[in-house]
Structures are given as C-alpha cells and as structure tokens.
Structure 1
Amino acid sequence: MAIAAVFIMYALFLAVGWFAARKVKDGSATDMIVAGRAMPLWIATLTMTATWVDGGYLLGTAEGTYKSSVALGMQGGLCFGVSLILGGLFFAKRMRQFEFTTLIDPFEARFGKYWAAVLFLPAMLGEVFWSAELLVAIGSTLAVMIGMKLSVAILLSAIVIIAYTMLGGMWSVAYTDAIQLGLVAIGLLVALPFVFEATGGLGNILHDYHAARPDRFGVFPPWQSNHGFWTTQSIINWWDVSAMLVFGGIPWNCYFQRVLSCQTPKRAQQHSILAGLLTIAFTIPPLLLGLAAFRFAWAPNLLAELQAQPSQTLPMIFQYVTPPLVGILGLGAIIGAVTSSFSSSILSAGSMFTWNFCHRLIRPDLSLLHMKRLLRMAIVMLGVAATVMAFKVQSVQALWFFTSDLIFVLLFPQLVFALFDPKVNRIGSVVAFCVSLLLRLGGGEPLFDLPPLIPYPELVSFLLPGDPQAWYDGTTLLFPYKTVAMLMGFVLLPIVSRLTAKWSPALPLKNVTQA
C-alpha cells in the first residue's frame, strides 16, 4: 500500500509538471527561469516556503530535539525563517527592481563577467551538492519506512523530479511545490493527535522532557555556560551556526529565482516575508514529534536503532507510533518536502549554468530558443550529476555543508556590497574573496582531512574564557572562524575598493541584459 502511494504521488507530480509546462510551450527562456516574472503572490509564497521546508529541515528538527535540545532542534527552521524575512526586507525588492535573471547578474554588473564566473562556482556547486544530499535523504526515508532499496528509491525519485522540472521550468516547480507543501502540512498535522495519544498527551510530553532536560528546554541557549549541556564553546558555536544559516541563506539562487519570478518588486518583498513566517510555523509539528519520541516507550530493539540513528526519528515515529494510513501520509510529508527542494535546486543550478556561464560568458549571441533547449539539457545533466554523487560520494552532506560555508563566507559580503555600495570594484571583490577563503580554510576542514592551520583560539586567548585548547574538539575547531572570515570580507571589500579606485573604476549596478 505504501509503495502504491509513492507511485501515485510521483504520478501526480508528473501530471502537475506537464500541466505547468503548457505555460512555457511557446515562451522564452524567461518563462523557464523566472516564470515570465508573472508569478502570483500566493504561488510565490508557497514555492518559497516549500523550498526551505526540505527533508533536512523536517528530519533535522525532529532529530535535534530528540537527541540534543529544543534550541538545536528549532535552530534550522527558525534561522531559515529569519533569513527569508531579512531577505525580503533588504534584498528582494532591490533585486526585482533591476529585473535580474539570477543571483550572479549583480556580480557581473559590478565586477565584470569573468570575475562573476568565479563567484558563480560556489553558488552552483552549493545547489548541486544540496540536490545530491536531498536524494540521499529521500532514499534513506523510503528504505526505512517501506523497505525500498536505497538505489531504487534514489533513481526513481531523480527520474521523476528531473522530468517534471525539465518540462516546465519554474512554473512546473512552483505548482508542484504548492502540492508538495500541502502534503507536508497534512502529513504532519494528521499525525500529531495519534502521537499525542500514544505518548500520554502534550502536557505529559512537555513535562517529561523538561524534567529530564531542564537546561535544554529553551528555544535559545543560555547566555552563560551552565556547566552542563551548554558550555561556553557550544553556546558560541550555536550562535556562529545561526549566523551562517541566517545570512548564508540569502545568497542562494534558488531563493532569488522566486524573488525574480514575482510580478512586482513590492510583491517580491511581501512573498519573502510571508514565506519566512510560514517557514518558522512549519518548525512546530516536527519539533513536537521530536519531543514525543523522547517520551514514547520504544521497544528495546527500536530504541537501540533510534539511538544509533537519531536522524531516523521522524520516519520511525510515522512507522511505529501512528496507524498505517497516517504513516503513509507522514511518508508523503517527507517525500513532498524533499522533492520540492530537489527540483528547486537543480533548476537553480541549471539556470545559472545556462544564463551566466553559457550565455553571458561563452555565447552572448545565443538565441532564446536555443537557451531554453540548453536549460533543459543542463537540468538533466546536473540532475544526473547529483544522482551519481548520491550513489558514489561517501559523505554528500559533508560536501553540502562545506559549500554552504563558502556561500556564507564568500558570497554574502559580495552580494551586500554589489547591491548597496556604488564605490566597490573588482579589485576589492577579489581581495575580499581571497582573504576570506584563506581564513575559512585556515580553520581546517575535516572533509579534506585538513587540520586547523590558523590558531584562532591562541591568537585571541585574551578575549576567551578558559584554556584555548577547550576550543578544539579533536581536529575540529569550535571557534567561530567562519563568521570571522565573512566579517573580514565585509571590512576589506569596501576599503580596498576605495584604495584602488584609480586603477579599477567602480561600475554601475544595472541590468546586464534582458532575458
């Protein structure tokens, strides 16, 4: 029954994608990339929310709450929501006013197309690695809940999502996102009453969690170490990661693709703020399910399995705590969350590759018809690449985390000054980029077995409480060096630009071309 439900959902996604494709049948590349800048407010709000409420969001909220604390469980959803609100308040309206086509366009206007091609690399890699990580998430979920082979689940999901994304581009993604977000809401909300009944009610759930973990019940960590769960290092690390999620969540093309698809600059601003509020609201159901998992009387073998793999908290609740039909709805919620984000990320990567690399850099004379064909080929090519990585790469999640770091450290300062400082130039951009990259890599990277090269804790030991060695966890550095690297880019970009204005005049912010 569950397998049949999965095939029905995928057939529905294909049907909706085919329906939406009729909107771009005779249209230009603009229809595929930014929906002809004609997307209504309600659709834009739903597709933005669906993109951020992904599988990692749902699974991570339940896992973090069950395994660690409320603050760690809510961190992702809360920060993503704040990121969307800040993006709406300060970035969305300005980007839409200039009618840019992708995130990379303001970089090209300010710094030239060749340096913009360098800035394009972390942006595109982040989307592709995110796509691969999402495929692993959906494959693992289907394997746990219905026993489908991991390879089959990944391949089936990739084929369906690539197909409907290729058919209609942004319109297909937006309409399927609306359906998928509905599946998320239904699956989570229907499950809550059954889970509460199986665990003694919401009051008992909250009481038991607070009694067992009194120092882990707050939405935010304490301001000072309580010499228990929250140490000074873990508190500062929570805020460091939060800064990365909030500000690093803005310079993603999948975000601006929705902003630039809106009908007017005002609507672009409104939809981002509304989506931010919805994203925060969607944190509550998986948070409550994570709290319930902590109280539920698991069988010994299931408890051992859950403690060994806390990332499976949400799938195991749907499988073992709710009735079978409700469990299928829960499976639909997870599938909806993951597929909506995967389609968004491969479309985003394909759009940047087609528009900024192939068209703006390689073939400026590329016709709109050829561009649309090239975009469809890019979606397939990048989708296949993400699928291969999901099969072959040992830790796709680690790759995605690393590229997300780079987007925060490298691209956020570039975007802020490209949009708001008329005096920045290419030399300032290059210097800020290179210094921030060196400072980021100087903190080490376990993915590449790179130990910390810059002794950050020792250099600022006069500012830190306790022993500087307490800021090392094995080969991992707990010091907020990523935020330091980003802030250094913030300082250097405007200063170096002004010092070198004689050799590299500032370029105006403008729409480099019309799609």
Structure 2
Amino acid sequence: MNIPGLIAVIVFYIAILVIGIFYGKKTSKAKSREAVLVADRSLGMVVSFFTITATMVGGGYINGSAEAAAWSGILQTQAPVGYTLALIIGGLFYAPKMRREGYITMFDPFQLKYGKKIGGLLFVPQLLGDLFWSASVLAALGATISIILEINATLAIIISAAVAIFYTFLGGLYSVAYTDVIQLLCIAVGLVVAFPFALNHPAVDTSRVSESWEGTIPGNTIFAYIDVYLMAIFGGIPWQAFYQRVLACKNVRVATVSTLLSSGFAFALAIPPVIMGIAGAAANWNETDYNGTIPFPDEMKSFILPMTLNYLTPLPVSIMGIGAISAAVMSSADSCILSTSSVVTKNIYQDILRPKASQKELAWVLRISILVSGALGTLIAIFSETIYGLFILCSDLMYVVLFPQLTLILWMPQSNSYGCLAGFFVAFALRLLSGEPVLGMAPVILFPGYDHENGLQMFPFRTFLMLIGAAFIVVVSLLTHHLFHRGIIPRRYDVLKCLRNRTISRRYTINAAMLQEADDADKNIEMEKQASSPLM
C-alpha cells in the first residue's frame, strides 16, 4: 500500500470536511429554504466562478478526457469542447433569463406554467442524468485511488461518496459552494504540476503516436460525430446543478460573467489530462514499474490517467494528482447529489405531495434525498465499465428530452401542458427504442446507415429525435392554444388547465420583475447614502 499517498488523501478529505462543516453553519442559522437550495442568493463573482467551474470539471471530465485522447485521439475527445460551448451559450442566454425571474430550481417555470404534476414529470431525465454523472465521477476516483494507493476500487468509491454526502447533508449549497473553491485550486495545481513530468518520462516516446494522437473521423461516422457534439453542447445546458449556482448568484450580472469566465477556465483544465492521456498511449510500459498485461485490456483503458500518474510521475507528483482527481470528484459528486435532492424536495415533495410542509420537514426530506441519491450514484459507479461512456451518456436524455422543453418554455409563450406531454413521451419513447450500447440496450429502431457489425447508429438520431420532440411541443401547443382560445373546444374540456396555468405563470413573472426592480432601487439608494456620507 502507498502509505504517503494514503496519508495525503486522508488529510485532503479531512480538510474538505472541515470546510464543508464550517460553511454549513450558515445554513443551520438560516430559516429560509433559499439558504439550503440557493445559499440565500448571496454568491459573489469569485465564489460563483469557482463553484460553476468546479461543477463542470469533475472526475468524468478529467479521467474521461484522458481516456478518449489516449485511445481515440484529440478529435474524438469531444466532451471538453462541447461542455465549454454549453457554458458559453448558457451564460449568454439561459442564465440571465432564469436568474432574472428569481426561480429556486430549474423546474419552477415548468410547474408554474404546466402545472405541478406535469412539471414534476420532466424531472425524470434530470434524475437519470444526475445519476450517470455522479457515477462517472465516482468511478473515476475509484480507478485512480485503487491504482495509486493499491486499495480496492469499490472501497475507494464508497469512502469518497460518503465524504461528499456527509458535508452536503450538513450544509446544502453553502457547504458545496465553498468547498468548491478549495477543490478547484487543488485540481488546477495538481494537473498543471503533473503533466510535464508524464510527458518527459524516459519511457514516453511521442513518435509512437505521431500519426494517431490527433485522431480521425471516418467518413461513415461524420454524422454520428456531429450528433455527439451537438448532444454535448446543448445537452450540457439543461442541468439543475448549473442553474442552482446561477440562481444563487447575487444578481444577473454576476451569474452571466461568472459563467462565461468558468467556460474558459474549464476548457483550459481539460488540456493537462489530454496531454497525460497521450503520454500514456506513447509510453513503453515495459520500461516502467508496471507489471500487468500489455497492451492494456479493454477494461483497463479507462484507467489511463491514474496509470500515467502512478508510473510516469514521481511519487510526490502522483500524490498531487490524487488530490486533483479527488477534488474533481468531490466538486461534481456533491453537485449531482444536491441537484437531485433539491428538485425532489422543492418540486416533488413540497409542490406536489405536501404543499404545507414546514421548513423543518423539508430540511429532513432534503437530507434523506441526499442520502438516497448519493447511494444510487455510488452503486452505478461500482458496476460501471467505462468512465467516458457514462460522462457522455449523462447528457443524452438531457439533450433529446429536456433541452427543447427548457428552450421553448422560456421563449415560446404559447407552449402549454399538452405540447409538453406530447413532446416528452414521443422523444423519451423513441430514445429508448433507439438502443444504447453503454447500457447494453439493443435498438428496436434501426436508422439509415446502421452499423450491424458494431451495433452502432451512424445516423444523427439524437438530434433527429430532439427535433421531433420540439416539433410535437410546438405543433400540439399551438393547436390546443388555438382551439381553446378561440372557443372551438369549450374551456371546460381543458383538463390540464393550460389557460389558467399560463395566467399564473405570467403573474409570477410580473411579480419577479417588480421584486428585481425593488432590489435594484434599494441598492441604488444604499450606494447614494455611502457616496454622500463623510469619509472617516
């Protein structure tokens, strides 16, 4: 067992716990549900920048990028570019609109406009996405610690998940946001220090990968390639974990600027693991202390980053690498856990099941949800075989089902409950029927160009299904709006009450705008007082 590495991990975990518990006291002193879910909307530019970046740069992002670069080349390492563009688009268009309305979760606009039960239904793809995301980051940490510290991967996953669950359980978003600051610093330092050592190791000869490090895009896969990129970009937008931070920002400007800054830093942090993945692929492992199977079997390919850290860098550097990956995992795992639990508590339990629940009751529902969602993500991580596959898969349903729903509810006033349900069930059913190799699901629908030998869809079916779902939302919404609004169908047959819900949603928007104007006015008055007061 690597005793120095084990000590370093224990010290790191204790430090994160202490920080999480310390800032979690803010939650225990607050009486508002906004304290736990959106940190009383108190995050400034620095903390919001750190927590948004740390949420994106998780273990799946780091380990998955190294895995893809090592075995498929840079051109096939699509997640870093895709998710960076997602942050840019989200910061410019989606974040300002959501923060301006003053929502508490991403699903508030759905429940206000479509009704509580229908809005809660849209939580299903978010739940699956969060579970796959948390599983990918925990699996990344299990792979790293098991190789470098020579302990059981399952034990590493369970301990790491327990630490993240514990401080999230105690402090909500306050604990998560402030631990993200330390975690992101650990990620940046650990990765930047490690990659030069890996690249300059005597066993690494880059000429071995001189023709493969860039990667290729075979002609018959070009449309599938574009499909995955679009999924990473637009599937990276409708995430509760992202909007939880956006909605916790002090104002719209902080939300927008911090998101845009995060996009650039997140992309920069993908470069070191990509380089280390290429270094691992270029290494002659017979010249290292590694005594396992060469070439690596398929089940070992997702371990390329921890293998590189362990065998191609000095011990102190590999320990720093453990810290970087541990921090990355914690920063994303706690985000996934809190994201799922927040929606279960606010949008499912309070809005649908127990509208009159006390704040104390909601606090305990949130804590129980944190435990359950953390346990489910841990189980998936233990039995997963590919980190990068899980990381990409987590955006799949978000792109196909949730992206058109979020976009249209924000920018299509005529969208209604009938269109929402039609788009949801059509897109969800067609996606399941299209199969998924990562989950071992055989396709029922074979799109043009289907690769029978490898069992892969070569057609850009995700984008196609997303557009079909969006079309159903638009057409059914416009049709039912026209029929009820014109009285062609009597309003008493409006069983989903889409006309009434639209009125409620409009009132909420007006009230939110008035509250924002009042807040701005109060801030201006306070600034004028400070400017007119004599200097001390």
TM-score (norm 1): 0.88
Are positions 1:421 and 2:412 aligned together? yes
Q: CA deviation at 1:200?
A: 9.1
Q: CA deviation at 1:158?
A: 1.8
More deviation, 448-457/249-258: 448-457
Counterpart residue number, 1:217: 214
Counterpart residue number, 2:170: 167
Q: CA deviation at 1:209?
A: 3.6
Q: Secondary structure at the match of 1:444?
A: coil
Counterpart residue number, 2:228: 241
Q: Deviations over 1:152-179 (max 9, x none)?
A: 2122112211111111111111111111
Call closer, same or farther: CA 1:193–1:393 in 2, change over 3 Å.
Answer: closer
| Structure-2 separation of matches of 1:88 and 1:306 | 40
Call closer, same or farther: CA 1:143–1:305 in 2, change over 3 Å.
Answer: farther
| Structure-1 separation of matches of 2:228 and 2:361 | 42
More deviation, 387-396/306-315: 387-396
Are positions 1:431 and 2:428 aligned together? no
More deviation, 345-354/297-306: 297-306
Task: Tell me the amino acid that sits aligned with residue 477 of structure 2.
Answer: S
Task: Tell me the amino acid that sits aligned with residue 315 of structure 2.
Answer: P
Are positions 1:351 and 2:342 aligned together? yes
Task: Tell me the amino acid that sits aligned with residue 20 of structure 1.
Answer: Y
More deviation, 505-514/126-135: 505-514
Counterpart residue number, 2:243: 256
Counterpart residue number, 1:480: 460
Call closer, same or farther: CA 1:186–1:194 in 2, change over 3 Å.
Answer: same
Call closer, same or farther: CA 1:217–1:400 in 2, change over 3 Å.
Answer: closer
58, 69, 80: which one aligns with 1:65: 69
| Structure-2 separation of matches of 1:403 and 1:2 | 31
Are positions 1:152 and 2:142 aligned together? no
Task: Tell me the amino acid that sits aligned with residue 323 of structure 1.
Answer: P
Counterpart residue number, 1:453: 444
Q: Secondary structure at the match of 2:306?
A: helix
Call closer, same or farther: CA 1:482–1:152 in 2, change over 3 Å.
Answer: same
Counterpart residue number, 2:502: 507
Q: CA deviation at 1:439?
A: 2.5
Are positions 1:342 and 2:330 aligned together? no
| Structure-1 separation of matches of 2:336 and 2:442 | 31
41, 61, 72: which one aligns with 1:37: 41
Are positions 1:51 and 2:38 aligned together? no
| Structure-1 separation of matches of 2:45 and 2:110 | 27
Q: Secondary structure at the match of 1:477?
A: coil
Q: CA deviation at 1:358?
A: 0.6
Q: Secondary structure at the match of 2:43?
A: coil
Q: CA deviation at 1:473?
A: 4.3
| Structure-1 separation of matches of 2:162 and 2:473 | 43
Are positions 1:498 and 2:478 aligned together? yes
Call closer, same or farther: CA 1:54–1:473 in 2, change over 3 Å.
Answer: farther
Counterpart residue number, 2:120: 117
Call closer, same or farther: CA 1:349–1:44 in 2, change over 3 Å.
Answer: same
| Structure-2 separation of matches of 1:388 and 1:208 | 38
Task: Tell me the amino acid that sits aligned with residue 5 of structure 2.
Answer: A
Q: Deviations over 1:195-229 (max 9, x none)?
A: 2332599xx84x6643x23xx627xxxxxxxxxx4
| Structure-2 separation of matches of 1:21 and 1:59 | 29
68, 76, 79: which one aligns with 2:79: 76
Counterpart residue number, 1:277: 264
Q: CA deviation at 1:291?
A: 2.4
More deviation, 371-380/58-67: 371-380
Alignment of 1:303-314 (within 5 A): 304=294, 306=296, 308=298, 309-314=300-305
More deviation, 58-67/33-42: 58-67
Call closer, same or farther: CA 1:442–1:7 in 2, change over 3 Å.
Answer: same
More deviation, 382-391/492-501: 382-391
360, 365, 372: which one aligns with 1:369: 360
Task: Tell me the amino acid that sits aligned with residue 404 of structure 1.
Answer: S
Q: Report the count of equivalent residues.
A: 486
| Structure-1 separation of matches of 2:282 and 2:445 | 44
Call closer, same or farther: CA 1:13–1:420 in 2, change over 3 Å.
Answer: same
Counterpart residue number, 2:5: 2
Call closer, same or farther: CA 1:443–1:386 in 2, change over 3 Å.
Answer: closer
More deviation, 184-193/328-337: 184-193
Call closer, same or farther: CA 1:181–1:306 in 2, change over 3 Å.
Answer: farther
Q: 8 Å contact 1:93–1:268 — kept in the other structure? A: yes
Q: CA deviation at 1:453?
A: 2.6
Q: CA deviation at 1:60?
A: 1.5
Q: CA deviation at 1:69?
A: 1.1
TM-score (norm 2): 0.85
Q: CA deviation at 1:111?
A: 1.0
Higher Cα Rg, which structure: 2
Counterpart residue number, 1:135: 138
| Structure-2 separation of matches of 1:284 and 1:304 | 26
Q: 8 Å contact 1:104–1:352 — kept in the other structure? A: yes
Task: Tell me the amino acid that sits aligned with residue 507 of structure 1.
Answer: R
| Structure-2 separation of matches of 1:115 and 1:107 | 8
193, 198, 201: which one aligns with 2:201: 198
Q: Secondary structure at the match of 1:230?
A: coil
Call closer, same or farther: CA 1:197–1:310 in 2, change over 3 Å.
Answer: same
180, 184, 189: which one aligns with 1:181: 184
Q: 8 Å contact 2:188–2:324 — kept in the other structure? A: yes
| Structure-1 separation of matches of 2:446 and 2:196 | 51
Q: Secondary structure at the match of 2:294?
A: helix
Are positions 1:13 and 2:16 aligned together? yes
| Structure-1 separation of matches of 2:15 and 2:190 | 16
Q: CA deviation at 1:344?
A: 0.6
More deviation, 489-498/239-248: 489-498
Call closer, same or farther: CA 1:391–1:449 in 2, change over 3 Å.
Answer: closer
**Aligned-residue CA RMSD (Å):** 2.4
| Structure-1 separation of matches of 2:373 and 2:55 | 18
| Structure-2 separation of matches of 1:63 and 1:450 | 23
| Structure-2 separation of matches of 1:41 and 1:70 | 32
Runs of 4+ in structure 1 off by over 6 angstroms are: 393-400
Call closer, same or farther: CA 1:22–1:41 in 2, change over 3 Å.
Answer: same
Q: CA deviation at 1:246?
A: 0.6
Q: CA deviation at 1:489?
A: 1.7
Q: 8 Å contact 1:96–1:260 — kept in the other structure? A: yes
Q: 8 Å contact 1:5–1:328 — kept in the other structure? A: yes
Counterpart residue number, 1:265: 252
